[in-house]
Amino acid sequence: MKRYPLLLLLFATLSGYAQNTINNYEYVLVPEQYSFSKEVDQYGLNNLTKDLLGDKGFMAYFDDKNLPAEIANDRCKAMIADIIEKKGMFTTTLTLILKDCQGNVVFKGMEGKSREKDFKTSYNDALKKAFISLNDVPYTFIGEVSKVASVKVPDAVVVLKDRAAEADDSTGPSETLYAQITENGFQLIDTTPKKVLTLFKTSIPDCFIADNGHNKGVVLKKDGKWYFEYYENDKLISTGLQIKF
């Protein structure tokens, strides 16, 4: 029986937990006017946003009365796009944010900057650059999250504790799982593709807070191999994983 440190996770006040990523959404709603704009579709930014989201693979619609019935009847099936402007004297700086129907941030991109003198050229250039970080994230629609409230994960309290692991419950790696980058870590998908595990970064290398929708635990590397470990009926379960990052 081998003894080793196990991370015990304490998720305070975390009920109805669900962590959404862009892969949970097929649709995105785009406003007809941004808060920093003086008119509808100023400089063509809103139409450009819609086009760039379409290029990424999303079905993007303007948030107006002409929405398809599927989204009009359930807006939680769509993310909401927003563009934030950072004021500057000679630089146009824009940031892309995608939120869920509860207002929680699903994705926040890096700043896109432009020093072009013409306003329209500068805003369009900055917006295209703001989309670069989104385009760098792999996107595969894996399932809707209709009416599931996404909540921000609080800072996890992590405690190191010596615990006897039950070797009998340890299993070897099954099929390869592919890691897709998220805002707080990764999600692991199989070849279906279907999300199998959600991983959240910790301050410890090669150790993640993990959730498969039924059990919460940790994914960590031991002796060069990955394991998902959690407790079930007060018994430690250790399952081998084959992950491709």
DSSP 70-81: HHHT-GGGEEEE
Residue 87 lies in a domain: yes
Separation CA 215–CA 232 (nearest Å): 8
> 220 and 180, same structural domain?
yes
State which of 109, 135, 161 marks the end of a domain.
135
Residue 195 lies in a domain: yes
> 85 and 116, same structural domain?
yes
> 157 and 66, same structural domain?
no
Residue 82 lies in a domain: yes
- What's the number of domains the chain is made of? 2
Residue 140 lies in a domain: no
Give residue 210's domain range. 3-19+151-244
CA-nearest of 3, 15, 18, 5 to 218 is: 5
* Long-range Cβ contact pairs of 80-85 (< 8 A, separation 24 or more): 80/28, 80/29, 80/31, 81/28, 81/29, 81/30, 81/31, 81/49, 81/53, 82/31, 82/34, 83/34, 83/36, 83/45, 83/49, 83/127, 83/130, 84/36, 85/34, 85/36
**Which pLDDT value is given to residue 19?**
52
> 70 and 164, same structural domain?
no
Q: In this structure, what is the dihedral angle of CA atoms 239, 242, 244, 245, given to the nearest 10 degrees?
A: 30
What does the longest C-alpha to C-alpha distance in the chain come to? 70
Residue 108 lies in a domain: yes
Separation CA 144–CA 123 (nearest Å): 32
Residue 144 lies in a domain: no
Residue 131 lies in a domain: yes
* Long-range Cβ contact pairs of 190-193 (< 8 A, separation 24 or more): 192/142, 193/140, 193/142
Phi and psi (nearest 5°) for 173? -60, 145
Q: How confident is the model at residue 58 (pLDDT cuts 50, 70, 90)?
A: very high
What separation in angstroms does the CA of 183 have from each of 22, 110, 119, 229? 10, 11, 31, 23
Mean pLDDT over 30-54 rounds to 96
Residue 143 lies in a domain: no
> 157 and 65, same structural domain?
no
> 26 and 129, same structural domain?
yes
Does the pTM surpass 0.95? The reply is no
Check whether 10 has a pLDDT greater than 70.
no
> 86 and 127, same structural domain?
yes
Mean pLDDT over 67-73 rounds to 88
76-132 pLDDT tens trace = 999 999 999 998 889 999 999 999 988 999 999 999 999 999 999 999 999 999 999
CA-nearest of 120, 114, 115, 131 to 43 is: 120
State which of 111, 135, 159 marks the end of a domain.
135
**Which pLDDT value is given to residue 164?**
37
128-179 pLDDT tens trace = 999 999 998 888 888 655 443 333 433 333 333 434 344 344 555 567 888 8
**Which pLDDT value is given to residue 144?**
58
Check whether 7 has a pLDDT greater than 80.
no
> 160 and 206, same structural domain?
yes
State which of 86, 101, 135 marks the end of a domain.
135
> 14 and 32, same structural domain?
no
**Which pLDDT value is given to residue 117?**
93
> 125 and 168, same structural domain?
no
180-203 pLDDT tens trace = 888 888 989 887 778 889 999 998
Q: Which secondary structure element, helix H or strand E, spans residue 201, and what is its range?
A: strand 195-201
Q: State percent of the chain over pLDDT 90.
A: 49
Q: Which value, in Å, is the radius of gyration of the alpha carbons in the chain?
A: 21
> 85 and 30, same structural domain?
yes
> 88 and 179, same structural domain?
no
Mean pLDDT over 63-76 rounds to 87
CATH of the domain at 122: 3.30.160
Q: Average model confidence (pLDDT) for the chain?
A: 81
**Which pLDDT value is given to residue 174?**
60
